[in-house]
């Protein structure tokens, strides 16, 4: 019956295609691009960056100035209030920040982490 012949072929073809991969390649066939070109373009997982602006309190600044521990307030849909480190980019100066400073700050959240963009002290009204 024609149908079963086709079904049999469908079963056999993938098996045949797998065959050469299992056998170790003899040396001398190196010029054949045997390995399917591995697509380096696995960029479908595009990094999502979300920007948040929240208030918080400075807990500490690392001596290198590369991280700030901040107790941030609730960030609706993202995090509850907590103390956590934020990365400081080279373009941002946090030298003026001190422990217990009340701040409002903007940061980028992505798979790469939490990176500060701007920090402003709330009590800088001129005392």
Name the residues that contact Cu ion, by CB under 5 A.
79, 82, 84
Shortest distance in whole angstroms from residue 85 CB to Cu ion: 9
Q: Say which residue the tokens 């934020």 belong to.
A: 86
Shortest distance in whole angstroms from residue 75 CB to Cu ion: 7
Judge whether 73 and 81 are in contact, CB under 8 Å: yes
The residue at minimum Cβ distance from Cu ion is: 79
The pair of three-digit structure tokens given for residue 76, joined into one six-digit string: 């609706």
Element (H, E) at 9: helix 2-22
Shortest distance in whole angstroms from residue 98 CB to Cu ion: 21
**Residue 111 to residues 73, 115, 116, Cα–Cα distance (Å):** 21, 11, 14
The pair of three-digit structure tokens given for residue 45, joined into one six-digit string: 């997982």
Residue (65 or 85) nearer to Cu ion, CB: 85
Residue (61 or 70) nearer to Cu ion, CB: 70
Residue (69 or 79) nearer to Cu ion, CB: 79
């Amino acid at each position: 019956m024609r149908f079963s012949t086709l079904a049999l072929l469908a079963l056999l073809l993938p098996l045949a295609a797998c065959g050469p991969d299992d056998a170790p390649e003899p040396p001398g066939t190196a010029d054949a691009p045997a390995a399917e070109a591995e697509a380096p373009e696995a960029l479908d997982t595009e990094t999502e960056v979300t920007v948040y602006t929240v208030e918080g309190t400075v807990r500490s600044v690392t001596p290198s100035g590369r991280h700030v521990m901040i107790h941030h307030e609730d960030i609706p849909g993202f995090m509850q209030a907590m103390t956590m480190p934020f990365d400081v980019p080279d373009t941002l100066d946090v030298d003026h920040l001190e422990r217990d400073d009340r701040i409002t700050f903007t940061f980028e959240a992505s798979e790469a982490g939490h990176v500060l963009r701007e920090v402003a002290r709330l009590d800088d009204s001129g005392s």
